[in-house]
Amino acid sequence: MRCIFCGTDSADSKSVEHIIPESFGNSTAILRKGIVCDKCNNYFSRKIESPFLNSEAVRMLRQELGLQNKRGKRITEFAYPKVGQEYVKQISGDEYLICTKQDKDVNELAVSVKEYKKYLQETDKILLRHNIYVSKLLAKIAVESFIYQCGSSNGVCEYVLNDEIFKKIREYTRLGGREMWPYSARRIYSRNESYKGDPFSSVNWEFDFLFLENGEVYFIIVMHGIEYAINMIIPNIEGYRNWLENNSNRSPLYITIEEREKNFLAYAKSMFTKEEKEELDKLRKTNTFNIN
């Protein structure tokens, strides 16, 4: 078995790979030992994930959401958001949940919401600012998520390691210099968005892929309400911006199955070989083709 990033023998690797950092709320999207070698795993942890996770805005977000680090500890260093006392959560749109031990009238509650809105504005300004650590983290997550979604078999890993389509983004993730691979970042829902109407739950992350007719493939992930998109083929996001403009700025995560299939078939028509197209037609005729 070989590491998907550096290609070295990884059969004796001892570490699993968390696709999204464990300290950012991920305990389920994990690649088994050997898919990423210990050396690359350690590099990503020190050189990419740590600068991201320990930036002030992300530490404030982790404190607000009560996210634990690998040792089970939570951040409590900031005066705001308040810890163990009164706190405010934006659970959707203009709906806020306020937890407090004090009796407060409507005006006092409004002051709490105003203070929280100011905090949101200031931290989002930083979280949405482009930087090299987020770019490399997204590139890493994109490659690993492709393997995860395709079943994480040895065959899939070899395909990602050897196919030219992944070469540039793999090399950028592991060996790239200071020139940043561009990405899109925008908030599409609140960081504490409630799950199925439950105000005490929230959506940590969700991801998928967008295939375009011009041969580009975008990895789309939403983490705590911020949608990120990165082109897995070339360092350019114009295709994604054009797609958003032509699709009413909807997130590709929430388009219909029919739209997903249409996008993928257009991609396949322009990129697949004759043999691959014939294989795809067979899958569609036997109802085993699933774009999800």
Looking at residue 281, what is its pLDDT?
79
Region 94-111: mean pLDDT is 91
Under 8 Å between Cβ of 224 and 191:
yes
- Of 87, 85, 104, the residue nearest 96 (C-alpha): 87
Looking at residue 71, what is its pLDDT?
86
Looking at residue 288, what is its pLDDT?
54
Residue 177 pLDDT class (50, 70, 90 cuts):
confident
Total residues belonging to the chain: 292
Burial 113-136 (b: 16+ CB within 10 A, else e): eeebeebbeebbeebeeeebbbbb
Region 225-254: mean pLDDT is 96
- Of 244, 222, 141, 228, the residue nearest 182 (C-alpha): 228
pLDDT tens profile 103-129: 899 999 999 999 999 999 999 999 999
Residue 274 pLDDT class (50, 70, 90 cuts):
confident
Residue 84 has pLDDT above 80, yes or no: no
Looking at residue 229, what is its pLDDT?
98
Burial 181-209 (b: 16+ CB within 10 A, else e): bebbbeeebbbbbbeeeeeeebbbbebbb
Residue 78 pLDDT class (50, 70, 90 cuts):
very high
CA distances from 34 to 17, 47, 142, 168, 187 (A): 9, 20, 18, 22, 34
- The structure tokens listed for 76 are 């409590």
Amino acid at 154: N
Other CB atoms within a 10 A radius of the CB of residue 234 amount to 14
Looking at residue 29, what is its pLDDT?
92
Lowest mean pLDDT among 97-101, 224-228, 231-235: 97-101
Residue 285 has pLDDT above 80, yes or no: no
Instruction: Tell the residue number behind the tokens 């995860």, with chain if given.
Output: 148
Residue 289 pLDDT class (50, 70, 90 cuts):
low
Burial of 180 (0-12, 13-18, 19+ CB in 10 A): middle
Q: Which residue has the higher pLDDT, 178 or 103?
A: 103
Predicted TM-score (pTM) of the model is: 0.92
Looking at residue 278, what is its pLDDT?
77
Region 175-187: mean pLDDT is 90
